[in-house]
């Protein structure tokens, strides 16, 4: 049992270290979990997925507005709450205001 717990914690550490280093492709996988550890693994994997979606949308919006010059581009991030919702909103407002200023010749 202790060996399994060590393996579970090691898997969580590998995934969270990857996220800390900017790798949003690694998740907690390949280790049998149940109970509270299953809840923790599902939460971590869900956060990694949400971060990956948000990062992809920020990249897409920045590319479409900044490089391709598309106006009216909006980020599409479903089921965001709290700080992520605020960041998404601020991103949209910032991009919209920047594009309007550029279009008006400021």
Q: What is the pLDDT along the chain (106 residues), one digit of tens a residue?
A: 677 889 999 999 999 999 999 999 999 999 999 999 999 999 999 999 988 988 887 777 777 766 666 655 666 666 777 887 787 777 767 766 666 666 666 5
How high is the pLDDT of residue 63?
A: 74
Whole-prediction pTM: 0.71
How high is the pLDDT of residue 26?
A: 95
Question: What distance, in Å, lies between the first and last C-alpha atoms of the chain?
Answer: 65
How high is the pLDDT of residue 45?
A: 96
How high is the pLDDT of residue 70?
A: 62
Burial class, 29, CB count within 10 angstroms (exposed 0-12 / middle 13-18 / buried 19+):
exposed
How high is the pLDDT of residue 71?
A: 59
How high is the pLDDT of residue 34?
A: 93
CB 77 within 8 A of CB 84: yes
Interior CA angle at 105 toward 99 and 106, to 5°? 80
């Amino acid at each position: 049992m202790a060996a399994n717990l060590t393996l579970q914690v090691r898997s969580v550490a590998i995934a969270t270290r990857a996220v800390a280093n900017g790798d949003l492709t690694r998740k907690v996988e390949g280790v049998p979990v149940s109970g509270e550890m299953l809840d923790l693994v599902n939460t971590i994997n869900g956060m990694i997925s949400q971060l990956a979606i948000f990062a992809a949308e920020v990249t897409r919006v920045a590319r479409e507005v900044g490089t391709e010059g598309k106006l009216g581009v909006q980020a599409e991030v479903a089921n965001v709450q709290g700080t992520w919702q605020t960041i998404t909103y601020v991103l949209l407002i910032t991009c919209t205001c920047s594009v309007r200023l550029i279009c008006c010749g400021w």
